[in-house]
Amino acid sequence: MTDDTVGEVQIADVPETFDESVVLLDVREDDEWQRGHAAGAQHIPMGDVPARVDEIDPDATLYVVCHAGGRSMRVAQWLARNGYEPQNVTGGMLAWAGAGRAVVTDDGSAGSV
């Protein structure tokens, strides 16, 4: 099956916490991640996803996020063609922060988008 149709999900429908069964895959670049990200998100920069796809749990509920939604949609389409069932987060981390959700740095302090 080569269907690359990807569902879009509004930020209100994305969980705020993540575990083994729910993955928020952040595909932004390292400098963007270091400025701030969702706590518990998994970080694989867009260009690294094909080489690191085995790190993504195929059985987890998968949300893909970037800064505003464009890169994550491209990654989500690629993942869909490769057996995953991702949801693209509409509005990306801008929507996450805009909804008042926490953005943190690697040391747990407040971050920025």
Domain-by-domain residue ranges, the chain? Answer: 7-98
What digits encode the pLDDT tens for the residues 53-98? 999 999 999 999 999 999 999 999 999 999 999 999 999 999 999 9
Residue-level length of the chain: 113
What digits encode the pLDDT tens for the residues 14-61? 999 998 899 999 999 999 999 999 999 999 999 999 999 999 999 999
Alpha-carbon gap, residue 56 to 83, rounded angstroms:
11
Right CATH for 7-98 from 3.40.50.2300, 3.40.50.300, 2.160.10.10, 3.40.250.10: 3.40.250.10
